[in-house]
Amino acid sequence: MKNLKKSIALLSALALAGTLLAGCDPEETTPDDTAETTAPVAADAVDENVTAELEVEESDMVADGGGTNLRIYGWNDDFYRDLSFVFGNGGSGYNVGDTFDERVTEIDGIPVEYVVTPSADGAYRQKLDTDLPANTGSNPIDIFMIEANDVRTYVNSDFSLNVAKIGITADDTAQMYSYPLAVATSSGGELKGVAFQACPAGLIYRRSIAVDMWGTDDPATIQEKVKDWDTLEATAAELKDKGYTLVASNQDTFFTVDSKKTTPWVDSNDNILIDQTILDWVDRMKTWGDNGWTNGAYNMWGGGQWDVDSSGGKVFSYFGPSWFFSFSMGTESAGDWAVTEGPALFNWGGSYIMAANGTDNADLVAKVMKTMTSDEWTLKLAVQNNDFPNNKNAVSQFGSQEGIGSFVGGQNYVEVFANAIEGMSAQAVSGYDALNEVFREAMIDYFNGNISKEEAIDNFYTRSLDRFPYLKDGR
């Protein structure tokens, strides 16, 4: 009964929390958004000692129900676009570089119904948590998309199916990276979702500034200027002397440490905790701001100054994955960028395909999952979308593809980011990762000199407990 009450409270509280982008195909928000996810149940952190079991008894398999409609839920059109790239064009899919506006209307003769509920004000999660518990009848939900910030709550719920029960095997996941697999594996060892993208990240820097500063834009040379935090700060001082800033806002730097924290936001006793790596980040970012190495602390999803900085010519670098190219940086400067490892390789985001409990199209759902994550299509999608494929074979072939990395001057960015995904720990990923956004926003007033650090931390706890009233201040 205690766990049931907590699950219901979590559902309600997450509907009121501030949205974090988090994903390949990110969800954007602004600082004054007060709505977040409507997460269904337990928010257990990843246990990397638990491995997904992909062999199930025949009697436990979910039988195909002969559904007459493939119903998919998403928070935007991005997965529908990718699904259409793979299954459209008369069923043969499109070629890399093709432009298309059409959306696939049927797969294997079964009509596709793609339901978009925007994420603003928590509407998408509210839609999921209203419809998934009642997923029966003649037109149930078959697939729902979820982003990394919320995946643990749905992984550990009864609303998602163990994909092994619809026919996903160890062979199907053999080329996937361990990080996305761990994130999508429940506490009980069930794999509840698959991803065709992964989101390793590094430092994205402006080539023209590098040439002006050091006479070269060569990634290996620039890496020596940004190889660790102390070296990076010395470089920041050099940049400032010539009228440049190291980064736009300090907000994108947060994920370099979020990936390194060793404890989740909430412990097993419901205490909200701030990992020491996060506190160290606060001190570092305050120094950066005071030294003029940033253009201030401001939210990166609200347009405004962020858009000016990314399209203008005075900001040297951003910390991000390859989806940053399309979602977070101005197209006016495309081609003037390159990537390197920077002081810390890290992970940021992810989108997962989940099978809805109650689907009557188990066979087709499995086909979608298998095809979208195959060697062939993860590679094509990565080249088409400037993404990182969650497939080791596709990664090895990426550099030989035509037209790769136009945003970064034709660089094989996948080769750089691949170093981040290998061995990346997911141990602190949990269903309370919406607190990332709460924390970052609470620190902005401190970074901008309006309040003290202690007041900012107090504000974080106050806002967190307002939104998750059953949790406790763990200080």
Give tens-digit pLDDT for 147-165: 888 899 899 999 999 999 9
Instruction: Evaluate whether residue 109 is within a structural domain.
Output: yes
Paired tokens of 420: 């981040």
Instruction: Evaluate whether residue 260 is within a structural domain.
Output: yes
Tell whether 6 and 95 lie within a shared domain. Answer: yes
Paired tokens of 162: 């163990």
Q: In this structure, are residues 185 and 194 in contact, taking their beta carbons and an 8 Å threshold?
A: no
DSSP state of 403: T
pLDDT band at 303 (very low <50, low <70, confident <90, very high): low
The residue among 72, 75, 205 whose CA lies nearest residue 139 is 72
Tell whether 401 and 343 lie within a shared domain. Answer: no
Residue type, 396: S
Residue 273 has pLDDT above 80, yes or no: yes
Instruction: Evaluate whether residue 175 is within a structural domain.
Output: yes
Instruction: Evaluate whether residue 391 is within a structural domain.
Output: yes
Tell whether 184 and 206 lie within a shared domain. Answer: no
Among the listed ranges 77-81, 151-155, 223-227, 242-246, which one has the minimum average pLDDT value? 151-155
Q: In this structure, are residues 281 and 162 in contact, taking their beta carbons and an 8 Å threshold?
A: no
The residue among 119, 128, 137, 134 whose CA lies nearest residue 19 is 119
Look at residue 197 and give its three-state secondary structure.
strand
Instruction: Evaluate whether residue 424 is within a structural domain.
Output: no
Instruction: Give the separation between CA 309 and CA 312, rounded to whole angstroms.
Output: 5
In a 13 Å sphere around the CA of 308, the CA atoms on its Cβ side amount to 6
Which residues pair with residue 111 across a beta bridge?
Answer: 106
Tell whether 374 and 343 lie within a shared domain. Answer: no
How many domains is the chain built from? Answer: 2
Instruction: Give the separation between CA 297 and CA 285, rounded to whole angstroms.
Output: 9
Mean pLDDT for the stretch of residues 232-243: 97
Instruction: Give the separation between CA 346 and CA 344, rounded to whole angstroms.
Output: 6
Tell whether 8 and 130 lie within a shared domain. Answer: yes
Among the listed ranges 29-33, 289-293, 465-469, which one has the minimum average pLDDT value? 29-33
pLDDT of amino acid 262:
86
The residue among 160, 165, 152, 131 whose CA lies nearest residue 61 is 165
Give the structural domain span for 138.
2-198+349-418
Tell me what the pLDDT averaged over the chain comes to: 88
Tell whether 91 and 35 lie within a shared domain. Answer: yes
Q: In this structure, are residues 201 and 345 in contact, taking their beta carbons and an 8 Å threshold?
A: yes
pLDDT of amino acid 295:
86
pLDDT band at 39 (very low <50, low <70, confident <90, very high): very low
Predicted confidence (pLDDT) per residue in 332-360, tens digit: 788 999 999 999 989 998 999 999 999 99
Paired tokens of 99: 């432009």
**292 Cβ contact list (under 8 Å, min separation 6):** 240, 245
Tell whether 177 and 281 lie within a shared domain. Answer: no
Could you tell me the CATH number of the domain that includes residue 289? 3.40.190.10
pLDDT of amino acid 291:
96
Tell whether 127 and 223 lie within a shared domain. Answer: no
What is the rounded (10 degree) CA torsion for 349, 350, 351, 352? -130
Predicted confidence (pLDDT) per residue in 344-403, tens digit: 989 998 999 999 999 999 999 999 999 999 999 999 999 999 999 999 999 999 999 998
Tell whether 357 and 287 lie within a shared domain. Answer: no
Instruction: Evaluate whether residue 423 is within a structural domain.
Output: no
Tell whether 89 and 213 lie within a shared domain. Answer: no
pLDDT of amino acid 130:
96
Query: Which has more confidence, 51 or 400?
Result: 400
CA 130 to chain CA mean position, Å: 24
pLDDT band at 259 (very low <50, low <70, confident <90, very high): confident
Mean pLDDT for the stretch of residues 51-71: 90
The residue among 376, 334, 367 whose CA lies nearest residue 96 is 376
The residue among 154, 80, 180 whose CA lies nearest residue 389 is 180
Tell me the H-state helices in 94-206.
123-131, 151-155, 170-173, 178-183
Residue 8 has pLDDT above 70, yes or no: no
Residue that finishes a domain, picked among 379, 399, 418? 418
The residue among 81, 159, 78 whose CA lies nearest residue 125 is 159
With residue 454 as reference, give the H or E element that holds it: helix 453-467
Instruction: Evaluate whether residue 118 is within a structural domain.
Output: yes
Question: Vertex 199, ends 197 and 200: CA angle to 5°?
Answer: 135
pLDDT band at 9 (very low <50, low <70, confident <90, very high): very low
Residue labelled with tokens 């990426």? 398
pLDDT band at 122 (very low <50, low <70, confident <90, very high): confident
pLDDT band at 268 (very low <50, low <70, confident <90, very high): confident
Residue 22 has pLDDT above 50, yes or no: no
Tell whether 136 and 69 lie within a shared domain. Answer: yes
Residue labelled with tokens 């999921």? 128
Mean pLDDT for the stretch of residues 8-29: 45
Instruction: Give the separation between CA 65 and CA 361, rounded to whole angstroms.
Output: 6
Tell whether 177 and 81 lie within a shared domain. Answer: yes
**304: how many CB neighbours lie within 10 A of its CB?**
11
Predicted confidence (pLDDT) per residue in 167-219, tens digit: 999 999 999 999 999 999 998 999 999 999 999 999 999 999 999 999 999 99
Length of the chain: 475
Instruction: Give the separation between CA 213 and CA 209, rounded to whole angstroms.
Output: 6
